[in-house]
Amino acid sequence: MGVPGEATRASYDRVAEAYATRFFEELRGKPLDRALLGCLAEQVPDKLPVADVGCGPGHIARHLHELGVRTLGVDLSPRMIELARERTPEVPFQVGSMLALDADDGAWGGIAAFYSIIHLTPGELPRAFAEFHRVLAPGGVLLLAFHTSPPPDLETDDGGVTHLDELLGEPVSLDFHFLDPAAIRSRLEDAGLVVEVSVDRLPTDPAEAKTRRAYVIARKPLPG
């Protein structure tokens, strides 16, 4: 049995440069994403840092930094982290896994996890959400984005999973999980987070993948 996440790490190391070239400026064409990130930024308690978990080349972290938020980035791929550091040296980036975050309990005021939980198996989601709950301060906010249905030209198995052997012209071994928003909300609540907002949308930018997407905002409750 391989190391959990190893295929995902190796795949994103391989496509890192092409991925950054294609997606680093993508927020310019995503007004809803920008608005939700602004909503997250306004609600961070006590000026605590916000972590971009599964940060890739760091474009979400950069946007939050430009909004005046203390920001850091975490990604499984060392090459993605190298590119993130090169592109936004003002933000600290580190290699890490959302299944075992290198942060103290209650250290973060917010988490943005954009299209990173889609590579987790169903059995790994509760562990990741428990970690999100652990590292968030009371009142801290989580903003998730994930795909809920594939584009017409992609097939999924009975579990809603698509496996790719090629991405952006490079050989990879990646499983993409298309997730049910109701099930994600339920798992977040099981982890002790309170779901406050849940919205979904169709693709709006001609350059983005033709998938349906969901956004969920959840909060770690204050004591009492």
CATH superfamily of 6-219: Vaccinia Virus protein VP39 (3.40.50.150)
Cα 159 to Cα 19: distance, rounded to the nearest angstrom = 26
Domain boundaries, the chain: 6-219
pLDDT at 53: 98
pLDDT at 4: 52
pLDDT over 70 (residue 2): no
Global pTM reads: 0.94
* Measured CA distances, 35 to 38, 41, 58, 183 (Å): 5, 10, 18, 24
> Sorting pLDDT into bands at 50, 70 and 90, what band is 210?
confident
Give the number of other Cβ atoms within 10 Å of residue 100's Cβ. Answer: 9
